[in-house]
A and B are shown apart, each in its own frame.
Chain A
């Protein structure tokens, strides 16, 4: 036992997040995500006639009234594929990436502690989830209000809302989308403990995302749908009614929590006994 028994257990998380944001790859993904709201807003702005109700992605018609809805529309557009792809990259890389670099063995003999390392890795993946949806949200707000101003917008329920309410509603959608990604990140963490090839883990997570959404489309598998981690990915509409209907939001929180617990346990079960031979 070291003479100095004071411990500094939090340092690893700080280091992990710093390393994540020191990577060129992380910034490239965030930049790519940022282009979505920008592209959308610019295209709508430049087109001669504004999109009619129900045309194009959800709420696109609201964009011209209140630019803040660019953020909501962009979140909705990125949720099925673009956003989860970036989460797949980060979460699939957590353990497998370290194994591939060979740094995993040095972290473990430091000693980082296997459980501690796993928790730190998951938390930093969650930080990325927040950063990713936060980027879309903030850039959406910025470009939207710059190009379209911040007037009144009409909700799905027909009510009109002002700027303050629009900020709150889009924040809620952002929170929902972020929570949706937490279960996926846990799945990614588990898959990442199975291999030493980061790219393989990333690809597997990405494929799973798509498979889950395809299964979610098949009526024959209706019994399975509530259990898919993608089930509530597009259930943000209730957050855009007055009053807000919270059912799917809370259901989603429970579902994602279950995924985190289950795949977190699987990841620990696998990683705590794994021979690190990379």
Chain B
């Protein structure tokens, strides 16, 4: 896709030093049999960023994360995590990485705190002397102090999700990888996770957060990448991503056809279905048309429409929202792409 190329060029211009990248991949590919789950992606996650890894269900986000963390072997390409080669030098990088991968997982017969102790003891750099203290602190950060002694099997979905995030925060981390961290959380919990991510990022930790819901991460990300059917279709800072979309004029009016004719006369081609009624209770339709940067000024368009007798009820010139960009890049359909 051309967009990726532009953004990649921009990245080249910025000349990011590979050492400044928390995650860097080149041509990373993972195949399951004949299916290519991840197709030659070049990820560049700057250190200190909050990086949104977006894509619809089945687009290959979790698979990418598994490969990055050494759980699955790449079929092709290479990756570096905190400057260490994956998978040969992973043992050096992983103690500095906290991760939540495709949902939390626990021993149902152990309490929340014991589950964290168990995972902590698997990390040979984690000091047993400070274990209880760190476990208590992690539980506190996710608001689970009162459920610390409860068996994990008695945790609700949201509590498990919080416990999984607590596990990722057991020791100070340079990189936090969170795969769908707000899955199963109530709106309050979602907000808490967002502020937790902000707090962690403020300490200098790079946060790599995947989601299929753009709205959940857009507010906290500094950077983002968009996956579609295993390929990276866009990547860059949030402003880069927003800016690449052309402006759009949006008009609501009862005189849809007349409006289209008039717009065409001004050199604007209306998109979208003809005669779509926005509000079933009114007679209004929404007309949208992309507006080139050298197109007519907004006030001239309104004046021309009014002169032609179009009853303009609202008029709007807008950069497409990130949401629109996301949908444009990944397709609107509800069906997973494969």
Contacts and interface: CB of A to CB of B under 8 A. Distances in A.
| Co-assembled chains A and B | yes
Interface of A: 1-2, 4-9, 11-12, 14-15, 19, 22-24, 101-103, 105-113, 116-117, 273, 275-277
B91 A2 contact: no
Given A2-B95, A12-B124, A109-B70, A102 B110 contact: no
A124 to B, nearest CB: 13
A19 B124 contact: no
Interface in B123-143: 123-128
Contacts, number: 105
13 contacts: A14-B121, A19-B118, A101-B106, A103-B105, A105-B69, A106-B105, A106-B122, A110-B94, A110-B119, A111-B123, A275-B72, A276-B66, A276-B72
Interface of B: 66, 69-73, 90-92, 94-97, 99, 101-110, 114, 117-128, 167, 171
Given A8-B126, A275-B72, 11 more contacts: A1-B92, A2-B95, A2-B171, A6-B127, A8-B125, A11-B122, A14-B121, A24-B109, A107-B122, A275-B71, A276-B72
A109 B72 contact: no
B95 to A, nearest CB: 5
Contacts of B110: 19, 22
B240 to A, nearest CB: 30
A110 B123 contact: yes
A105 B102 CA distance: 10
B100 to A, nearest CB: 9
Contact of A15 (B66, B90, B92, B122): B122
Contacts of B92: 1
Nearest to A11: B121
| A-B pairs, 9 with minimum CB distance | A102-B105, A110-B122, A111-B94, A11-B121, A15-B121, A112-B122, A275-B72, A276-B71, A110-B123
A5 B105 CA distance: 28
Contacts of B171: 2
Contact of A22 (B94, B97, B109, B123): B109
A60 to B, nearest CB: 38
Contact of B124 (A7, A23, A102, A109): A7
Given A2-B96, A8-B124, A109-B97, A275 B105 contact: no
Contact of B127 (A4, A14, A15): A4
Max chain B CB contacts within 10 Å: which of A12, A14, A15, A110? A110
A111 B96 CA distance: 10
A116 B91 CA distance: 12
A21 to B, nearest CB: 11
A112 to B, nearest CB: 4
A2 to B, nearest CB: 5
A23 to B, nearest CB: 6
A24 B109 CA distance: 8
A275 B72 CA distance: 4
Contacts of A275: 66, 71-73
Contacts of A107: 119, 122
B81 to A, nearest CB: 11
B125 A5 contact: yes
A8 B127 CA distance: 7
B317 to A, nearest CB: 47
A109 B97 CA distance: 8
Nearest to B115: A103
B338 to A, nearest CB: 17
A42 to B, nearest CB: 32
Contacts of A117: 122
B307 to A, nearest CB: 64
B19 to A, nearest CB: 15
A23 B107 CA distance: 10
B151 to A, nearest CB: 11
Contacts of A109: 69-71, 94, 97, 99, 101
A2 B91 CA distance: 11
A90 B258 CA distance: 77
A11 B95 contact: no
A15 B72 contact: no
Nearest to B171: A2
Contacts of A273: 73
A32 to B, nearest CB: 18
Nearest to B72: A275
Contact of B125 (A7, A101, A102, A106): A7
Contacts of B104: 102
A7 B127 CA distance: 8
Given A24-B109, A101-B105, A277 B72 contact: yes
A8 B94 contact: no
Nearest to A15: B121
